[in-house]
Amino acid sequence: MLLREQFNRERIDELIREAKRQGPFHALTHEEREATRREFLAKISHDNGLWVFGYGSLLWNPAFHFTEWQPARLHGFRRRFCLQASIGRGSPEKPGLMLALDHGGSCNGRAFHIAPDKIESETDILWMREMVSGAYNARLIKIRLPHETVTGLTFVINRAHPRYIAEMDIEDTARLVSSGEGHLGTCRDYLNNTIAHLDEMKVKDRYLHELQQKIHELDRRTDMA
């Protein structure tokens, strides 16, 4: 479980140093990360607050302050395990995969509303959470809520990043998700928690359920070996 208090410069620097000790790891400097945040904030009006679309761990562990959440859907991107993880929920010994929004399709999730006077502080938290390595791009995007369409923030995969995986079949994806583990826990728990919270919202993500089923099949094969 990620805690809001963990997102500070000292903690981020510590995580980056540890990641680099384990092997090659690209990280944005504080100045580079802040420049992307300022660029994003310059595009929005702060008058009505900010909606943030969550599709992975933000669904069940947002770790930032928000006034409300609503079921949400966006078009043009799909949820996919396409980001290699060697820290967090992966390690050099047990590499894993993380979710990102990749181009094509659509995605259901939750939209969290940040109050106008909290945009500065809460985007700072979000950038320390999502933008450390530059694997994501912060995007301003149309988000469909139950009764209106709003413009908000989400994080999509940076296809130019070295940890991006363009193509991987479901079997290989299942193997990495089933075995990936790091200081934040396992990729398997990450998958199961995401599915559980989508199920609570009556959202059945066929891709995630198929992946979960493949992992169960791998477990059965291992038990029989």
Tens digit of each residue's pLDDT (9 = 90 or more) over 77-100: 999 999 999 888 999 899 999 999
Can you give the pLDDT at residue 224?
A: 67
Give the pLDDT of residue 225. Answer: 57
The dihedral sign for the CA sequence 183, 131, 178, 90: negative
Among 68, 93, 130, 167, the active-site one is 130
- Bridge partner residues of 79 (DSSP): 101
- Other beta carbons within 10 angstroms of residue 59's beta carbon come to 21
3-state secondary structure of 155: strand
* Least confident residue range of 21-30, 66-75, 94-103, 165-174: 21-30
Residue 94 confidence (pLDDT): 95
pLDDT of 148: 98
Residue range 111-139, pLDDT digits in tens: 999 999 999 999 999 999 999 999 999 99
Question: What CATH number should be reported for the domain whose range is 4-224?
Answer: 3.10.490.10
Helix (H) / strand (E) element for 149: namely strand 149-157
Q: Mark whether 181 is an active-site residue.
A: no
More confident residue, 24 or 70: 70
Helix (H, G, I), strand (E, B) or coil at 57: helix
The confidence score (pLDDT) of residue 14 equals 87
Joined tokens for residue 193: 């928690």
**pLDDT 10s digits, 29-49:** 999 999 999 999 999 999 999
Contact by Cβ (8 Å): 44, 140 = yes
Neighbours of 137 (CB within 10 A): 19
pLDDT at position 48, please?
A: 95
* Percentage of the chain exceeding pLDDT 70: 99
CB atoms within 10 A of CB 1: 9
Maximum distance among all Cα pairs of the chain, rounded to whole angstroms: 60
Domain boundaries along the sequence of the chain: 4-224
- 87 or 178: which leads in pLDDT: 178
Q: Regarding predicted confidence, which is higher, 187 or 221?
A: 187
